[in-house]
Amino acid sequence: MLLTGALFGCGRIAHKFADDIQTIPGAGISAVATRSLQKARFFAKAYNAPKALDSYEALLGVKGLDAIYIATPHVLHAENAIMCLNTKIPVLCEKPLAMNSREVSQMIASAEANNTFLMEALWTRFMPPINKVLKLIAAGEIGELISVNADFGFAANFNPEGLLFDPALGGGSLLDIGIYPVFLALLLFGKPEHIEASAIPGSTNVDSSCDMRLKFPGDKIALLHSTILSDTKTEAFIFGSKGHIHIHSRWHEMTSLSLHLNETDEVWHFDKDESCRGYRFEAEEVMTCIENGKIGSDAMPHDFSTLLIETLDRIRHKAGIIYSVD
């Protein structure tokens, strides 16, 4: 399938996504929109997009779009996605899909009402290392799953008006990077029975750090951490009765992993794929789903996005993380 896509937003992640689109045969970007026409023109020139616009509404009038990738601030995701879906344009929307479960429910309802594709762009789900982890677990390599430890942290440059620090934009560590450890725990264990969480508020009143302990059926445990205060190892350990899997730093992207078995102390390495950043895999999933007439992805279904945002809501409630849209 050929993919003619457009982008809402021209930020750092949009540039990385656009880089990877260039590696997919038959795929390309036909238009980009952001509130700064200068930025839109710079972005369009960099990726050979014919149209640069300073209005999201104007972009919806561009003919021949197969899909729109939304990379705007978190607080705009629901509004932007529903705008596209109501025009029957398929949507790949950056994580978090929205600010809360109420907004996600509205987005999914719009996708269903318009019979139009919607998927959360949580790129890690489609990475080769994660798919290898799932295969190793399904094959019983580490036995019965017991627990998960995962972190994601970096020392962010302070900007009170930036995405990470402005509460009006949905700032804070949890929604931006804490979502990754939470995603991994839910992918492996399902819905948590009990959640404990605490956050360290920063000077702009967003969570600078968040610590989470999730308990699942069968007494399985996930210990998770996110922070924008310091660089952490950003790795993940999945423990089972026969051994464990170590997803090396930075575990959420294109990295390597090793399998450690209790009895033989065998270490097995899965090498990093250097062919792209990793965004192309979610883009290829979108292409396949649209070609097959689906309104959702089997790998990242609406039900999982609902579980993810509901779990984030529960964590925020426990940790006292509140936004004006709540």
Domain boundary among 92, 123, 154: 123
Percent of the chain at pLDDT exceeding 90: 87
Q: Where are the beta strands (DSSP E) in 109-157?
A: 118-121, 145-153
Question: What's at 135, amino acid-wise?
Answer: K
Rounded Cα distance between 209 and 198, Å, is: 8
* Confidence grade of residue 2 (pLDDT, cut at 50, 70, 90): very low
Answer whether residue 240 is part of any domain. Answer: yes
Query: Which residue, 318, 119, 98, 61, is CA-closest to 215?
Result: 318
- Three-state DSSP class for 204? coil
Answer whether residue 13 is part of any domain. Answer: yes
Question: Do 138 and 112 have their domain in common?
Answer: no
Question: Do 141 and 86 have their domain in common?
Answer: no
Question: Do 229 and 196 have their domain in common?
Answer: yes
- In the numeric block, the tokens 């579980």 are attached to 307
Answer whether residue 161 is part of any domain. Answer: yes
Rounded Cα distance between 85 and 116, Å, is: 6
Give the pLDDT score at 275: 73
- Is the pLDDT assigned to residue 111 strictly greater than 70? yes
CB of 91 closer than 8 Å to CB of 67: yes
Give the pLDDT score at 314: 98
| Number of helices (H), then strands (E), in the chain | 10, 14
The tokens of 11 are what?
């930020």
- Is the pLDDT assigned to residue 270 strictly greater than 80? no
**pLDDT (mean) for 299-324:** 98
Give the pLDDT score at 263: 77
CB of 303 closer than 8 Å to CB of 309: no
- Is the pLDDT assigned to residue 184 strictly greater than 70? yes
Question: Do 113 and 219 have their domain in common?
Answer: no
The string of pLDDT tens digits covering residues 79-104 is 999 999 999 999 999 999 999 999 99
The tally of domains found in the chain comes to 2
The mean predicted confidence, pLDDT, of the chain is 94
* Confidence grade of residue 1 (pLDDT, cut at 50, 70, 90): very low
The string of pLDDT tens digits covering residues 27-80 is 999 999 998 999 999 999 999 999 999 999 999 999 889 999 999 999 999 999
Answer whether residue 291 is part of any domain. Answer: no
Strand order in the sheet with 243-247: 194-201, 207-216, 220-227, 145-153, 236-240, 243-247, 257-261, 267-270
Rounded Cα distance between 324 and 326, Å, is: 5
Sign of CA dihedral 234, 240, 245, 251: negative
* Confidence grade of residue 115 (pLDDT, cut at 50, 70, 90): very high
Domain boundary among 277, 306, 321: 277
- In the numeric block, the tokens 């051994």 are attached to 243
Domain hosting residue 40, numbered range: 3-123
**CATH value at residue 76:** 3.40.50.720
**CATH value at residue 230:** 3.30.360.10
The tokens of 208 are what?
């600078």
Q: How far, in whole angstroms, is CA 142 from its chain's centroid?
A: 26
Question: Do 141 and 238 have their domain in common?
Answer: yes
- In the numeric block, the tokens 């310091």 are attached to 230
